[in-house]
Amino acid sequence: MAEPSATKNTGSIVAASLAAIGASVCCVGPLVLLAMGIGGTWISTLTALEPYRPVFIGITLLFLFMVFRKLYILPRQCAPDDACALPGTLRNQRIIFWLVSIVLIALLAFPYYGLIFFE
């Protein structure tokens, strides 16, 4: 049985989300810990993943491009009994894609606007 395209798109979105979280963990992680009331001088050592941030950013953008390509560029190949044959499925997938993309871009850009929280 062929895998439905909705599952393939979901896998790419999940992979992009995990890559974005990996790219922003060095910057967002300490802020989240401070917001939860966890403090201490050891929080400054949580930047161990900073050198890998460009790799995570590249992976995130690659997966987002793959999903964009699947949703907007490639022709839809859908069997009549698949979930993608329903009229609202493509619209819902595109809405979810753009919502997730906004969150991921916000996570990737956190080092640039995150200084506002520390001033």
pLDDT at 27: 65
pLDDT at 100: 87
DSSP 15-54: HHHHHHHHHHHHHHHHHHHHHTT--SGGGGGTTTTGGGHH
Q: Which amino acid is at 54?
A: P
pLDDT at 2: 47
- Per the structure block, which two tokens stand in for 101? 């993309």
More confident residue, 84 or 101: 101
pLDDT at 99: 92
pLDDT at 98: 94
| Residue 97 DSSP SS3 | helix
Q: What is the mean pLDDT of the chain?
A: 76
